[in-house]
């Protein structure tokens, strides 16, 4: 995860929220989402992918498979820039295609989540299937952070 580049913009509420394709959880909510993932039926978990860092857990999948815990937020790729994922209810007040290109070039990644609060750019091109092993690696990483 890196900080947001030195561009500035405001966020606006979308007229229509996008259908979610990712669950995004920060800090304590990320730990609760991690616990919830451990409880999912195996068939459902196998349809999900996850990536994490010290503060955030992002779980990607079909809307019907995404888990819910209190405090979780949702994201989806933007229809004008599919490589840029944003909160389902908000978007930047700038040209999305230009912002996406600038971020993708700066980060040298193929898929990014742009988040307003806390302000972050999170790579999504290294998510792995939700398995017991992957969840254990995330837990170990958090324990060492």
Q: What pLDDT digit, counting tens, does each position of 51-75 carry?
A: 999 999 999 999 999 999 999 999 9
Q: Is residue 58 part of a domain?
A: yes
Q: Is residue 61 part of a domain?
A: yes
Those residues with Cβ within 8 angstroms of residue 20's Cβ, 6 or more apart along the chain or in another chain: 63, 66, 74, 75, 76, 88
| CA 54/CA 10 separation, integer angstroms | 26
Report whether 56 contacts 24 (CB < 8 A): yes
- The verdict on whether omega for the bond into residue 142 sits within 30 degrees of 0, i.e. cis, is no
Q: Is residue 85 part of a domain?
A: yes
Who wins on pLDDT, 79 or 35?
A: 35
Q: Tell me, what's the pLDDT at 6?
A: 52
Q: Tell me, what's the pLDDT at 97?
A: 81
| Whether residue 40 has pLDDT greater than 90 | yes
Q: Tell me, what's the pLDDT at 1?
A: 44
Who wins on pLDDT, 97 or 36?
A: 36
| Number of domains composing the chain | 1
| CA 124/CA 100 separation, integer angstroms | 14
pLDDT digits (tens, 9 = 90+) for 67-125: 999 999 999 998 888 888 999 999 888 878 877 777 777 777 778 899 999 999 999 98
SS3 63: coil
Report whether 84 contacts 77 (CB < 8 A): yes
User: What spatial distance separates the first Cα and last Cα of the chain, rounded to whole Å?
Assistant: 14
Q: Is residue 5 part of a domain?
A: no
DSSP letter string, 73-111:
EEEEEETTEEEEEEESSEEESS-HHHHHHHHHHHHT-S-
Q: Which residue has the tokens 């988040």?
A: 115
Comparing CA positions, the residue from 120, 126, 130 lying closest to residue 56 is: 120
pLDDT band at residue 7 using 50, 70 and 90 as cut-offs: low
Q: Is residue 70 part of a domain?
A: yes
Residue span of the structural domain in which 106 resides: 11-140
């Amino acid at each position: 995860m890196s900080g947001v580049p030195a561009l500035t913009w405001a966020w606006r509420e979308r007229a229509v929220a996008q259908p979610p394709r990712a669950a995004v959880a920060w800090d304590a909510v990320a730990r609760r989402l991690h616990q919830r993932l451990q409880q999912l039926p195996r068939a459902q978990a196998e349809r999900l992918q996850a990536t994490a860092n010290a503060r955030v857990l992002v779980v990607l999948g079909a809307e019907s498979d995404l888990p819910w815990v209190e405090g979780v937020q949702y994201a989806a790729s933007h229809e004008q820039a599919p490589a840029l994922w944003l909160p389902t209810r908000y978007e930047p007040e700038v040209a999305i295609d230009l912002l996406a290109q600038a971020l993708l070039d700066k980060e040298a990644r193929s898929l990014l989540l742009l988040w307003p609060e806390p302000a972050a750019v999170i790579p999504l091109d290294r998510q792995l299937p939700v398995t017991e092993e992957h969840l254990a690696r995330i837990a170990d990483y958090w324990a060492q952070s």
